[in-house]
Amino acid sequence: MENTGEIRNKILEVFAEKYGSSEGARVFFAPGRVNLIGEHTDYNGGHVFPCALTIGTYGAVRRRDDRALNFYSMNFEGEGVIASSLDDLKPLEDKDWTAYPKGIIWAFGEKGYTVGSGFDIVLYGNIPNGSGLSSSASVEVLTGYILRELYGFEGITNIDLALIGQYSENRYNGVNCGIMDQFAIAMGKKDNAIFLDTATLQYEYAPVKLLDAKLVIACSNKKRGLGDSKYNERRAECEKALSEIRTLVDVKSLGELDEATFGKVESLIKDDVRAKRARHAVYENRRTISAVRALRNGNITLFGQLMNASHESLRDDYEVTGPELDALVNAARKVPGVIGSRMTGAGFGGCTVSIVRNGNIDEFIERVGREYLEKIGYAADFYVVSIGDGPGEVF
């Protein structure tokens, strides 16, 4: 069910089954994202370089006249229609996936855009759940886009949708994520990655011209579990390191430091682990700037080397890779035609992203898949992906 037209028909059919008819229902889409380089830099005031994917989340939706909210996900069929209401939006209390759309309705209210009547919705996502390709941010941006369209909240830009998504994730869901995922999704552009300075939200599109190669995502199928709390822990370690540096140097974020300046102030950080975390944040930001320059110059080889260095830093200094992602990357590095390979997203499970020459993709999937299965004991999944646009209505 990969063709947009087919997905639209199917989701409207399910909508009619669940809610009586599909008359007046509209269908919207928001992508998932993959980050090419610049990991764990976004909450450190550094740069990121993600792109939106052509896979994502679809939503068929229709306004109601009362205050009821009905949610159904084709990815969680067993949970059935989950009934709620606009009077039932309480941060940090939801235990199921509806926390993501409900958080957005709540966040709209907090920002002065009060949603006065409910809706019925059916969601269908073709991003593998928990894969680190931002299925949750995709649902958040999708919901924001739908609210803007359905309730006529003019003046909300796509960047606002990203910020509202992040606000909701932080406050309603309790994950202190940065802005990268929601921004990449809300601002996605076909065949382009987004070079974003998270300190200022200034951004530029950069065409991803890989010539005879493609992006291949390998999904570890390791469920993240503890990921969210570890994520918040890494963030806190960086904040503490920054506060130690600030006793001597006036900087707002680790992203303001280059390697040389960091070398001079590193000894202010009173704990070795914290110093490693900060080193990653500083070096990864600089690597991202260099990588975008390399891509613009058509130097894919250098871009790939910087991806490899990014993974090593995430493994050794930031310690967010784990045996599964390391196994995928180690196996990938042995396959001819692999230009670069690294973990992507928060880590602790999730996916790797590799640039692989077209002629080697089958071999890549076969060899990396076999080595992963032997080492880890369960299979990885592979996706050859394309870079797509941001959210929109599907006709």
Q: Which stretch binds ligand GLA (CB under 6 A): 100-108, 147-155, 176-184, 286-294?
A: 176-184
Among 52, 89, 346, 356, binds ligand GLA (CB under 6 A): 346
Minimum CB separation from ligand GLA for residue 390, in Å? 17
Q: Which stretch binds ligand GLA (CB under 6 A): 3-11, 62-70, 174-182, 303-311?
A: 174-182
Decide: is 52 part of the binding site for ligand GLA (CB under 6 A).
no
177 versus 265: smaller Cβ distance to ligand GLA: 177
Q: Which stretch binds ligand GLA (CB under 6 A): 122-130, 151-159, 177-185, 251-259?
A: 177-185
Q: Is the dihedral of CA 256, 260, 264, 268 positive or negative?
A: positive
**Residue with tokens 């299925």, as numbered in its chain:** 135
CB 314 within 8 A of CB 321: yes
Nearest in space to 203 (alpha carbons), one of 228, 221, 186: 186
Retrieve residue 100's tokens: 């993501």
3-class secondary structure, 126: coil
Q: Which residues inside 6-45 make contact with ligand GLA, applying CB under 6 A?
A: 39-40, 42-43
Task: Cite the DSSP H helix spans in 152-271.
Answer: 158-171, 180-186, 227-245, 259-265
37 versus 245: smaller Cβ distance to ligand GLA: 37
Minimum CB separation from ligand GLA for residue 289, in Å? 16
Amino acid at 168: S
Retrieve residue 29's tokens: 């889409």
Q: Which stretch binds ligand GLA (CB under 6 A): 95-103, 143-151, 175-183, 220-228?
A: 175-183
69 versus 257: smaller Cβ distance to ligand GLA: 257
Q: Which stretch binds ligand GLA (CB under 6 A): 172-180, 187-195, 352-360, 383-391?
A: 172-180
43 versus 195: smaller Cβ distance to ligand GLA: 43
**Residue with tokens 């070398």, as numbered in its chain:** 263
Decide: is 217 part of the binding site for ligand GLA (CB under 6 A).
no
**Distance separating alpha carbons of residues 84 and 94, to the nearest angstrom:** 11
181 is a catalytic site residue: yes
CB 142 within 8 A of CB 391: yes
27 versus 104: smaller Cβ distance to ligand GLA: 104
Decide: is 345 part of the binding site for ligand GLA (CB under 6 A).
yes
**Residue with tokens 């009173």, as numbered in its chain:** 270
Nearest in space to 141 (alpha carbons), one of 174, 113, 171, 169: 169
**Which residue out of 42, 94, 120, 181 is catalytically annotated?**
181
15 versus 303: smaller Cβ distance to ligand GLA: 303
Nearest in space to 320 (alpha carbons), one of 220, 223, 234: 234
Minimum CB separation from ligand GLA for residue 345, in Å? 5
Nearest in space to 345 (alpha carbons), one of 242, 241, 220, 256: 220
Decide: is 342 part of the binding site for ligand GLA (CB under 6 A).
no
Q: Is 203 exposed, middle or buried (0-12, 13-18, 19+ CB in 10 A)?
A: middle
Residues that bind ligand GLA (CB under 6 A): 39-40, 42-43, 177-178, 180-181, 345-346
Q: Could you give the residue numbers annotated as active site?
A: 181
